[in-house]
Amino acid sequence: MQNSNKSKFLLPETVSILDSMSLRARLVVEGYIIGQHRSPFHGFSVEFAEHRSYEPGDEIRHIDWKLYGKTDRLYVKRYEEETNLSSHIILDISRSMIFSSSKISKLSYANTLVAALSYLMIKQQDAVGLVQFSNQIDSFLLPKSRPSHLSSLLDKLSDDKFGQDTQIEKILHEMAERIIKRGLVILISDLIDDQQKILNGLKHFRHNNQEVIVFHLFDRKELEFDFNDRTKFVDMETGEEITTEPWHIRSNYKDLISKKQKYFKTKCRENLIDYFPIVTDQSLELCLTEYLRKRKNLG
């Protein structure tokens, strides 16, 4: 595969046709690196995932001399508690996430993003865990940084696996109580729930001194509401239906969406939470750049 072709795997519709989450993750990250013309790994070795570079003050007995003989560089054996950053990705898999007006659903986009972020984090020797939720916690993997952990995490991701309705606040409060070690929390969701309650849950993490990024997912139709004919709209979580002429409600609907984004943007900024709205037809590069910007600020 030519390098010039790898950047196409940053396009969500291209990569979503791949069934293998492992392949999605690798191609997205490789495409990103090529596009940046530099490695985003901030100097970490991606070859020796169970080691870290020797630093003044490290005990000499932990130096891997065999590795020194091969690389002429000093590395110390890295233990689980020595990982650079511990991250929890909290992924919304509620029924509304399977909505799609094109070839890719919000859930498929989110799964690919989780796969790429996890691949990137573990190559950076960071620990990453995964929480999948709808109205309950559907799965929970504790953060680890071992390469073998990536396979376990990716096995949990499926575009065909989804839950029921959304209860974001309850899940956020529960996870804020369960996550003890300070680190980074990444929420990936369409945020279809009471916005004040969602904010309350996010603030709980900040109260515990966690760093937080929110990726707010939209389908293009949800933003533009460019339906023309008389249409039946069905709430994917409650089943409630309404049939109407779209032009009757388009203005009010778009105003509500705009106010919701403005609310989260303002309130998240006030609470030192990174808020990043993203549409499923936009390049995954935008999300990876946002994460790496945050990672760099965290040292």
47 vs 84, residue with greater confidence? 84
Residue 246 confidence (pLDDT) above 50: yes
* Closest CA relative to residue 216, chosen from 180, 177, 254, 186: 186
Pairing of strands 86-92, 75-77: unpaired
Q: What is the pLDDT of residue 13?
A: 80
Cα–Cα nearest to 215, from 113, 99, 80, 104: 113
Give the DSSP H/E element, type plus range, for residue 208.
none
Tens-place pLDDT, residues 75-89: 776 554 445 799 999
The DSSP line for 140-187 is EEEEE--HHHHHHHHHT--TT---SS--HHHHHHHHHHH--S--EEEE
Residue type present at position 16: S
> Among residues 109, 91, 98, 87, which one has the least CA distance to residue 24?
109
DSSP label of 277: E
Q: Please answer whether residues 191 and 222 qualify as being in contact, where contact means their C-beta atoms are separated by less than 8 angstroms.
A: no
Instruction: Count CA atoms within 13 Å of residue 149 on its CB side.
Output: 22
User: How many CB atoms are located within 10 Å of the residue 91 CB?
Assistant: 23
Domain with CATH 3.40.50.410 in the chain: 84-297
State the pLDDT at residue 44: 36
Percentage helix, strand, coil, to 5, in the chain? 45, 20, 35
For 133, other C-beta atoms within 10 Å of its C-beta total 25
Among 72-76, 107-111, 285-289, the range scoring the smallest mean pLDDT is: 72-76
**Whole-number average pLDDT of the chain:** 84
**In the prediction, which pLDDT does 43 show?**
39
Q: What is the DSSP letter of 58?
A: S
| Res. 103 pLDDT band, cuts 50 70 90 | confident
Cβ 201 vs Cβ 178: under 8 Å: no
Q: Is the predicted pLDDT of residue 234 greater than 70, yes or no?
A: no
Residue 280: pLDDT band (50, 70, 90) is: very high
pLDDT at 265: 97
pLDDT attached to residue 36 = 65
pLDDT tens-place string over residues 201-228: 999 999 999 999 999 999 998 887 776 6
% of the chain beyond a pLDDT of 90: 52
**44 three-state secondary structure:** coil
pLDDT value, residue 80? 44
CATH of domain 84-297: 3.40.50.410
